[in-house]
């Protein structure tokens, strides 16, 4: 029998680390840039802004890593609990589980006889894997990885927060707020384009989506900061 070697290149394997990376970088750029813009609008000095930026980077990266790990670990715990339940059911009620798998394939469009034959063969090959994939929806390509998600998120946040930090260091005195804003907008546009490239979607649309929402967040922070003036404290 002849088997074709044709195989498409799918991007779903990138879902885990790409989601965490984009979320981390986006949060690093927006939150730290918004923080600096708010502080700059209040009249804070360049030194104060730099210290605030460093503190925001460290605390934000730590928070992102911890939050992402806990969130994804909870997902892993749920998957493991479901697999444990399914494993017990396969041992106690193999016939009922076979009927259940057959019914799933019938609902997906197979004829009953063919659905039953497919269920029998997949059960013989790896019953737990078949039920995990087709009944529960757990697949190795999309399974959660807490450490990978936490590391990607923390690293991406730190890289995102470096943009406003460099903007502060390179900006002339008196133009820090505007420089940070411009760098923030450009970095968001680049992030949107890069993430869309790796996701295989429209680069322009992705760039605009990330930039617009980021600008709204930064404008709001600057607006709130303008109500305060450090010289009055």
Most confident of 16-25, 34-43, 49-58, 220-229: 49-58
pLDDT score, position 19: 66
Helices within 132-231 (DSSP H only): 146-170, 176-199, 203-225
Alpha carbon 64 to its chain's center = 11
Q: Which pair of tokens denotes residue 174?
A: 């008196």
| Mean pLDDT over the full length of the chain | 82
Collapsing DSSP to helix, strand or coil, 2 comes out as coil
Assign 41 to helix, strand or coil: helix
Task: Tell me how far CA of residue 140 lies from CA of 100, 200, 205, in angstroms.
Answer: 22, 21, 30
Predicted local distance difference test score (pLDDT) of residue 171: 85
What is the enclosing helix (H) or strand (E) of 172?
A: none
Q: Which residue has the higher pLDDT, 172 or 116?
A: 116
Mean pLDDT of 167-177: 85
Does residue 109 sit in helix, strand or coil? Answer: coil
Phi-psi region of 229 (alpha: psi -120 to 50; beta: other; left: phi over 0): beta
Per DSSP, 171 falls in state S
pLDDT the model gives residue 10:
46
Question: DSSP labels for 45-91?
Answer: -HHHHHHHHHHHHHHHHHHHHHHHHHHHHHHHHHHHHHHHHHHHHHH
* CA-only gyration radius of the chain, Å: 25
What mean pLDDT do residues 215-223 have?
79
pLDDT of 225 above 80: no
Q: pLDDT at residue 143 above 70?
A: no
Query: pTM surpassing 0.75?
Result: no
d(CA 142, CA 149): 12
Report residue 9's pLDDT band, with 50, 70 and 90 as the boundaries. Answer: low
Measure Cα distances from 70 to 37, 140, 198 in Å: 30, 20, 26
């Amino acid at each position: 029998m002849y088997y074709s070697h044709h195989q498409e290149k799918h991007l779903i394997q990138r879902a885990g680390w790409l989601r965490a990376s984009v979320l981390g970088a986006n949060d690093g750029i927006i939150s730290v840039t918004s923080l600096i813009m708010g502080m700059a609008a209040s009249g804070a000095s360049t030194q104060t802004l730099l210290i605030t930026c460093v503190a925001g980077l460290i605390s934000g990266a730590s928070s992102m890593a911890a939050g992402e790990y806990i969130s994804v670990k909870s997902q892993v715990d749920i998957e493991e609990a479901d697999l444990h339940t399914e494993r017990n059911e396969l041992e106690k009620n193999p016939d009922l589980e076979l009927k259940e798998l057959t019914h799933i394939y019938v609902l997906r469009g197979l004829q009953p006889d063919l659905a039953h034959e497919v269920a029998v063969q997949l059960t013989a090959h790896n019953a737990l894997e078949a039920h995990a994939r087709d009944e529960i929806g757990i697949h190795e390509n999309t399974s959660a990885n807490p450490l990978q998600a936490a590391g990607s998120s923390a690293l991406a946040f730190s890289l995102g927060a470096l943009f406003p930090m460099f903007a502060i260091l390179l900006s002339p005195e008196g133009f820090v707020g505007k420089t940070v804003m411009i760098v923030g907008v450009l970095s968001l546009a680049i992030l949107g384009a890069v993430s869309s490239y790796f996701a295989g979607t429209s680069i322009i649309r992705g760039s605009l989506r990330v930039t617009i929402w980021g600008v709204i967040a930064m404008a709001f922070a600057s607006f709130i900061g303008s109500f305060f003036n450090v010289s009055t404290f």
